[in-house]
Amino acid sequence: MEILDKILLLRVLSNYCYLIKENNVDEVGLYEEINPINTDEFINQVFHLDEINVDVVTDQDLARLLIMKDDELRMKFSKTVNGVEERVLLRESQKPHGAFEISDMELPMTFRGRRYFMCLPFKSGVEIRGKSVPVDIAYQIVRPLY
């Protein structure tokens, strides 16, 4: 295991032990209480979903979406995000892929006075033709967590 993997494992085990009331785990000093957030409220703040009428989406709209490549999809998506500076959206929607990127787009968000980063992997209908995400692509979903 790499050092960061060991640190993450220790932290997860520490949190688990704390939550099941295992004795002396708080002496390790790794437990960090994370307040849950209302994801519906967070997503609505970012995308104003309560203002979108999905009943007007046509089959042609879905067909256009499925033929978009990643770069076009990220650019269009960036125009739907609220609460992020336009220059940040432009940079994140156009950044090239790299070995050290956490995800395709990392957007700094403020929600209820706290700073979060929304890490967004993108895979277009051009890249994924099946009804599920292939394993070799799924790593992008969990990468921000380690």
44 & 82 share domain: yes
Question: Cα(126)–Cα(113) distance, rounded to whole angstroms?
Answer: 38
46 & 86 share domain: yes
89 & 110 share domain: yes
Distances in whole angstroms, Cα of residue 40 to Cα of each of 37, 47, 52, 55, 128: 9, 10, 14, 20, 27
Question: Cα(31)–Cα(14) distance, rounded to whole angstroms?
Answer: 6
The answer to whether the CB of 120 falls within 8 A of the CB of 139 is no
**What are the φ/ψ torsions at residue 113 (nearest 5 degrees)?**
80, 0
139 & 95 share domain: yes
Q: What pLDDT was estimated at residue 124?
A: 77
30 & 63 share domain: no
pLDDT in tens, 22-77: 666 556 665 566 678 888 999 999 999 888 888 999 999 989 988 888 889 999 99
Residue type, 35: N
Question: Cα(56)–Cα(35) distance, rounded to whole angstroms?
Answer: 37
1: helix, coil or strand?
Answer: coil
> What is the domain extent for residue 68?
40-145
Distance linking the first and last C-alpha atoms of the chain: 13
Q: Mean of the pLDDT values across residues 81-89?
A: 94
61 & 117 share domain: yes
pTM above 0.75, yes or no: no
* Dihedral sign computed on CA atoms, order 65, 140, 142, 36: negative
21 & 44 share domain: no
64 & 122 share domain: yes
74 & 93 share domain: yes
pLDDT at 101 over 70: yes
76 & 107 share domain: yes
6 & 71 share domain: no
55 & 110 share domain: yes
**How many domains would you assign to the chain?**
2
